[in-house]
Structure 1
């Protein structure tokens, strides 16, 4: 339609009308581009908000797991320290100040919690090359830092498992179970190890217990420190997400 009008005006040499038609065409193209850009921006904002809401939900779960990691570390450390105290005091002490037996304390020592890792939505954003949809550069930086600390926490947890495996062998060697129920590796097949019979002589005469316990205490402290570092990062991340979602 507009092209026919321009052609007619050119044939009549009505240059003023041609100029007006040209301006109309240019303005139409400009407005069309602006509308398209606006729609694209709105779609990008919706995508970002959807990711932020998913990150917010998943970091809530991560924060809860970190609380469990820290609580389990505290429990295991306290139980192991009390076992060391009992070991130091000798066979005359078969329970701690709270009346817990060595077997009960052992049960608390071996109860670990797998560390928290980066939320799946962060892994999705990175693998799909979509992290740039998060406009807040501070948030992107903290997400990367949390992921890096999480990788270290996983490696530290593996060291803890290795040290704990050796300590578990020492601890379980003091417990007597039905040989028919023993596992292939010789350790007792247990549900609650408090139900297994404790043999004091095996516990108090094992010099390797103290050395291995000190190694495990070090890895427990390391795991807790990493979990606390993750907690601080989660707090910063959740604050940034809340600020962005409130806009």
Structure 2
């Protein structure tokens, strides 16, 4: 209809009306673009906010996972101490042997927390979300990403080393799985305590692994505190977006 009106105005050489029609068309196009841009901006803001909320939940989950691993290591401390003392005294009592086998089982177990980072990856893939975040928060986001990757890598590498040193490459130790059930696997010693306590390699491995567990506890405790600080940063960024 508008085109027919423009054509009619051109035909009658009513240039004022033609100009007015073009102004109306341009204004309509500009308004449509503004509405489209506003809608896209609102959609991106909502997406960024929702992703930050999920990120906050993931960081909280990772913090709890760290707390559980730290507590688990702490709970086995007395058993580890008894095992090292038993080797030092060449104690061959059933309690001492049990402490040693339990300690090997604990020390060679997986202490890597079940970290999650789905929202972190989602933020990294969406530039339109990152553009809505402050430079300071993006820097904190990169730091958290780097720390998470480092903790995951270090704990995984050291766990694998502990398993190899204490079980796979240790001729004095084997894993016994009752009826093939790995979830109920137990550690078995092939040498009496009188021989094990005289083996400098066996005792040194336990002491070194005990030291590593304490170092891992310190690392996870430090990362937990960093996570708690990052949660505050997320809250501040969410408040700014809203």
Q: Structure 1 83/226 Cα, relative in aligned 2: closer, same or farther at 3 Å?
A: same
- 2:204 counterpart SS class: helix
Q: Structure 1 132/32 Cα, relative in aligned 2: closer, same or farther at 3 Å?
A: closer
Per the alignment, residue 141 of structure 1 pairs with: 139
Per the alignment, residue 40 of structure 2 pairs with: 40
Per the alignment, residue 233 of structure 2 pairs with: 240
- CA distance in 2: counterparts of 1:188 and 1:37, whole angstroms: 63
**Cα pair 1:68 1:113 within 8 Å, conserved:** no
Structure richer in helix, relative to its length: 2
**TM, length-normalised to structure 2:** 0.73
Structure 1: stretches of 5+ with no match in the other structure: 174-185
- 1:205 counterpart SS class: coil
**Cα pair 1:115 1:227 within 8 Å, conserved:** no
Cα-to-partner distance string for 1:76-115 (whole Å, 9 max, x where unaligned): 555433422333344388769xxx8444555544444223
Deviation of the 1:241 alpha carbon: 3.0
- 1:187 counterpart SS class: strand
**Cα pair 2:84 2:203 within 8 Å, conserved:** yes
Structure 2: stretches of 5+ with no match in the other structure: 178-183
- CA distance in 2: counterparts of 1:10 and 1:141, whole angstroms: 59
- CA distance in 1: counterparts of 2:150 and 2:190, whole angstroms: 38
Per the alignment, residue 71 of structure 1 pairs with: 71
- Counterpart of 1:187 (choices 168, 174, 188) is 174
